[in-house]
Amino acid sequence: MIENIYSDNFRSIFYSYLLSQKNISNMKKLAILFILSLGIISCQQTKTAYVNNTKIMEGFEKLEKTEEQFTQEEEALKAKMDAMVAESGYQDLVKEYQSKQGQMPKAEEEELYNKIMQIQQRLGQQQQMNNQQFQQRKNAERDSLVTLVKDFIKDYGKNNGYTYIYGANESGNILYGKEDLDITEEVTKALNEKYSVKEESSDESAEAEPKNDSVQ
Protein backbone atom coordinates (compact mmCIF):
# COMPACT_ATOMS: atom_id res chain seq x y z
CA MET A 1 0.00 0.00 0.00
CA ILE A 2 2.73 2.45 1.03
CA GLU A 3 4.74 1.54 -2.07
CA ASN A 4 1.71 2.26 -4.26
CA ILE A 5 1.24 5.66 -2.65
CA TYR A 6 4.90 6.56 -3.18
CA SER A 7 4.73 5.24 -6.69
CA ASP A 8 1.65 7.33 -7.48
CA ASN A 9 3.21 10.45 -5.95
CA PHE A 10 6.42 9.99 -7.85
CA ARG A 11 4.48 9.41 -11.05
CA SER A 12 2.45 12.60 -10.60
CA ILE A 13 5.54 14.64 -9.73
CA PHE A 14 7.37 13.26 -12.74
CA TYR A 15 4.45 14.05 -15.04
CA SER A 16 4.23 17.56 -13.59
CA TYR A 17 7.94 18.05 -14.20
CA LEU A 18 7.64 16.85 -17.79
CA LEU A 19 4.64 19.11 -18.34
CA SER A 20 6.47 22.12 -16.90
CA GLN A 21 9.51 21.40 -19.05
CA LYS A 22 7.26 21.12 -22.07
CA ASN A 23 5.66 24.47 -21.25
CA ILE A 24 9.09 26.08 -20.79
CA SER A 25 10.21 24.58 -24.08
CA ASN A 26 7.11 25.91 -25.83
CA MET A 27 7.65 29.34 -24.30
CA LYS A 28 11.26 29.34 -25.50
CA LYS A 29 10.13 28.40 -28.97
CA LEU A 30 7.54 31.16 -28.95
CA ALA A 31 10.14 33.66 -27.73
CA ILE A 32 12.57 32.64 -30.46
CA LEU A 33 9.85 32.86 -33.10
CA PHE A 34 8.86 36.30 -31.78
CA ILE A 35 12.46 37.56 -31.94
CA LEU A 36 12.90 36.14 -35.43
CA SER A 37 9.67 37.76 -36.59
CA LEU A 38 10.83 41.10 -35.20
CA GLY A 39 14.10 40.71 -37.08
CA ILE A 40 12.30 39.90 -40.31
CA ILE A 41 9.95 42.87 -39.89
CA SER A 42 12.90 45.12 -39.09
CA CYS A 43 14.76 43.95 -42.18
CA GLN A 44 11.69 44.50 -44.30
CA GLN A 45 11.18 48.02 -42.97
CA THR A 46 14.84 49.14 -43.20
CA LYS A 47 15.93 50.17 -46.69
CA THR A 48 19.36 51.73 -46.91
CA ALA A 49 21.64 53.02 -49.66
CA TYR A 50 24.47 55.46 -50.15
CA VAL A 51 25.53 58.10 -52.65
CA ASN A 52 28.87 59.62 -53.57
CA ASN A 53 28.38 63.32 -52.82
CA THR A 54 31.31 64.44 -54.95
CA LYS A 55 30.15 62.51 -58.01
CA ILE A 56 26.63 63.88 -57.69
CA MET A 57 27.89 67.46 -57.62
CA GLU A 58 30.23 66.77 -60.55
CA GLY A 59 27.38 65.25 -62.54
CA PHE A 60 24.84 67.96 -61.65
CA GLU A 61 24.30 69.75 -64.97
CA LYS A 62 22.79 72.85 -63.38
CA LEU A 63 25.94 73.34 -61.29
CA GLU A 64 28.12 72.83 -64.36
CA LYS A 65 26.14 75.45 -66.27
CA THR A 66 26.37 77.85 -63.33
CA GLU A 67 30.15 77.41 -63.19
CA GLU A 68 30.37 78.16 -66.91
CA GLN A 69 28.33 81.33 -66.43
CA PHE A 70 30.62 82.48 -63.62
CA THR A 71 33.67 81.77 -65.78
CA GLN A 72 32.21 84.00 -68.48
CA GLU A 73 31.38 86.68 -65.92
CA GLU A 74 34.92 86.53 -64.52
CA GLU A 75 36.36 87.00 -68.00
CA ALA A 76 34.00 89.94 -68.60
CA LEU A 77 35.11 91.56 -65.33
CA LYS A 78 38.75 91.14 -66.32
CA ALA A 79 38.10 92.74 -69.71
CA LYS A 80 36.26 95.60 -68.01
CA MET A 81 39.17 96.11 -65.62
CA ASP A 82 41.68 96.10 -68.48
CA ALA A 83 39.59 98.78 -70.20
CA MET A 84 39.60 100.90 -67.03
CA VAL A 85 43.40 100.62 -66.80
CA ALA A 86 43.75 101.67 -70.44
CA GLU A 87 41.37 104.62 -69.99
CA SER A 88 43.22 105.82 -66.89
CA GLY A 89 46.45 106.23 -68.85
CA TYR A 90 48.28 104.34 -66.11
CA GLN A 91 50.65 102.43 -68.39
CA ASP A 92 51.58 105.57 -70.35
CA LEU A 93 52.33 107.48 -67.14
CA VAL A 94 54.51 104.62 -65.86
CA LYS A 95 56.47 104.58 -69.13
CA GLU A 96 56.88 108.36 -68.98
CA TYR A 97 58.12 108.22 -65.41
CA GLN A 98 60.60 105.44 -66.19
CA SER A 99 62.00 107.27 -69.22
CA LYS A 100 62.31 110.67 -67.49
CA GLN A 101 63.26 109.57 -64.00
CA GLY A 102 66.26 111.56 -62.78
CA GLN A 103 66.07 113.91 -65.77
CA MET A 104 63.13 116.12 -64.73
CA PRO A 105 62.89 118.59 -61.85
CA LYS A 106 62.40 116.83 -58.51
CA ALA A 107 59.03 118.50 -57.84
CA GLU A 108 57.74 117.43 -61.25
CA GLU A 109 59.05 113.91 -60.73
CA GLU A 110 57.30 113.65 -57.35
CA GLU A 111 54.07 114.99 -58.82
CA LEU A 112 54.13 112.39 -61.61
CA TYR A 113 54.98 109.64 -59.13
CA ASN A 114 52.11 110.61 -56.80
CA LYS A 115 49.71 110.69 -59.75
CA ILE A 116 50.73 107.16 -60.74
CA MET A 117 50.29 105.94 -57.14
CA GLN A 118 46.82 107.49 -56.89
CA ILE A 119 45.68 105.81 -60.10
CA GLN A 120 47.23 102.52 -59.01
CA GLN A 121 45.48 102.69 -55.64
CA ARG A 122 42.13 103.53 -57.22
CA LEU A 123 42.40 100.70 -59.74
CA GLY A 124 43.52 98.27 -57.03
CA GLN A 125 40.56 99.13 -54.80
CA GLN A 126 38.18 98.74 -57.72
CA GLN A 127 39.62 95.35 -58.63
CA GLN A 128 39.50 94.16 -55.02
CA MET A 129 35.87 95.22 -54.68
CA ASN A 130 34.96 93.48 -57.96
CA ASN A 131 36.69 90.27 -56.86
CA GLN A 132 35.01 90.24 -53.44
CA GLN A 133 31.54 90.82 -54.87
CA PHE A 134 32.11 88.21 -57.56
CA GLN A 135 33.35 85.60 -55.07
CA GLN A 136 30.45 86.29 -52.71
CA ARG A 137 27.92 85.77 -55.49
CA LYS A 138 29.70 82.63 -56.65
CA ASN A 139 29.86 81.13 -53.14
CA ALA A 140 26.24 82.02 -52.41
CA GLU A 141 25.04 80.39 -55.64
CA ARG A 142 27.10 77.27 -55.04
CA ASP A 143 25.87 76.98 -51.43
CA SER A 144 22.32 77.36 -52.72
CA LEU A 145 22.83 74.50 -55.19
CA VAL A 146 24.41 72.29 -52.52
CA THR A 147 21.35 72.85 -50.30
CA LEU A 148 19.11 72.11 -53.27
CA VAL A 149 20.88 68.77 -53.84
CA LYS A 150 20.63 67.82 -50.15
CA ASP A 151 16.90 68.59 -50.09
CA PHE A 152 16.41 66.62 -53.30
CA ILE A 153 18.13 63.54 -51.84
CA LYS A 154 15.94 63.78 -48.72
CA ASP A 155 12.79 63.90 -50.85
CA TYR A 156 14.12 61.11 -53.06
CA GLY A 157 14.64 58.93 -49.99
CA LYS A 158 11.13 59.62 -48.65
CA ASN A 159 9.43 59.06 -52.00
CA ASN A 160 11.28 55.79 -52.65
CA GLY A 161 10.87 54.23 -49.22
CA TYR A 162 14.43 54.56 -47.94
CA THR A 163 15.09 54.51 -44.20
CA TYR A 164 18.60 55.91 -44.62
CA ILE A 165 20.64 57.31 -47.50
CA TYR A 166 24.25 57.76 -46.46
CA GLY A 167 26.69 60.17 -48.06
CA ALA A 168 30.15 59.00 -49.08
CA ASN A 169 32.82 61.63 -49.63
CA GLU A 170 36.57 62.18 -49.51
CA SER A 171 36.59 62.43 -45.70
CA GLY A 172 35.70 58.74 -45.57
CA ASN A 173 32.28 58.67 -43.89
CA ILE A 174 31.68 55.31 -45.58
CA LEU A 175 34.74 53.09 -45.79
CA TYR A 176 32.94 50.24 -47.53
CA GLY A 177 29.55 49.64 -49.09
CA LYS A 178 28.15 47.04 -51.46
CA GLU A 179 27.98 48.27 -55.02
CA ASP A 180 24.30 47.36 -55.32
CA LEU A 181 23.58 49.85 -52.50
CA ASP A 182 25.24 52.69 -54.43
CA ILE A 183 22.43 54.78 -55.96
CA THR A 184 24.64 57.70 -57.03
CA GLU A 185 23.91 57.26 -60.73
CA GLU A 186 20.13 57.01 -60.43
CA VAL A 187 19.94 59.94 -58.00
CA THR A 188 22.07 62.10 -60.34
CA LYS A 189 19.84 61.15 -63.26
CA ALA A 190 16.68 62.02 -61.34
CA LEU A 191 18.26 65.28 -60.17
CA ASN A 192 19.10 66.37 -63.71
CA GLU A 193 15.62 65.39 -64.90
CA LYS A 194 13.98 67.58 -62.26
CA TYR A 195 16.29 70.55 -62.82
CA SER A 196 16.73 70.23 -66.56
CA VAL A 197 19.30 72.62 -68.03
CA LYS A 198 17.79 72.16 -71.51
CA GLU A 199 14.40 73.46 -70.38
CA GLU A 200 16.01 76.47 -68.70
CA SER A 201 18.04 77.19 -71.84
CA SER A 202 14.94 77.06 -74.04
CA ASP A 203 13.07 79.35 -71.64
CA GLU A 204 15.95 81.83 -71.64
CA SER A 205 16.10 81.75 -75.44
CA ALA A 206 12.36 82.41 -75.67
CA GLU A 207 12.69 85.40 -73.33
CA ALA A 208 15.67 86.77 -75.24
CA GLU A 209 14.01 86.36 -78.65
CA PRO A 210 12.45 89.67 -79.79
CA LYS A 211 8.73 89.65 -80.40
CA ASN A 212 7.58 90.22 -83.97
CA ASP A 213 4.50 92.38 -83.51
CA SER A 214 4.08 93.35 -87.15
CA VAL A 215 0.95 95.31 -87.94
CA GLN A 216 -0.80 94.25 -91.12
What is the rounded distance in angstroms from the CA atom of residue 143 to the CA atom of residue 64? 14
Q: Is the pTM of this model over 0.85?
A: no
Closest CA to 188 of 70, 76, 92, 51: 51
What is the rounded distance in angstroms from the CA atom of residue 26 to the CA atom of residue 18? 12
pLDDT in tens, 98-128: 998 888 899 999 999 999 999 999 999 999 9
DSSP 48: E
pLDDT of residue 3: 46
User: Which CA distances in Å does 23 have to 26, 27, 28, 34, 59?
Assistant: 5, 6, 9, 16, 62
Written as one letter, the residue type at 161 is: G
pLDDT of residue 202: 56
pLDDT of residue 178: 87
Q: Please say whether the beta carbons of 156 and 195 come within 8 A.
A: no
pLDDT band at 166 (very low <50, low <70, confident <90, very high): very high
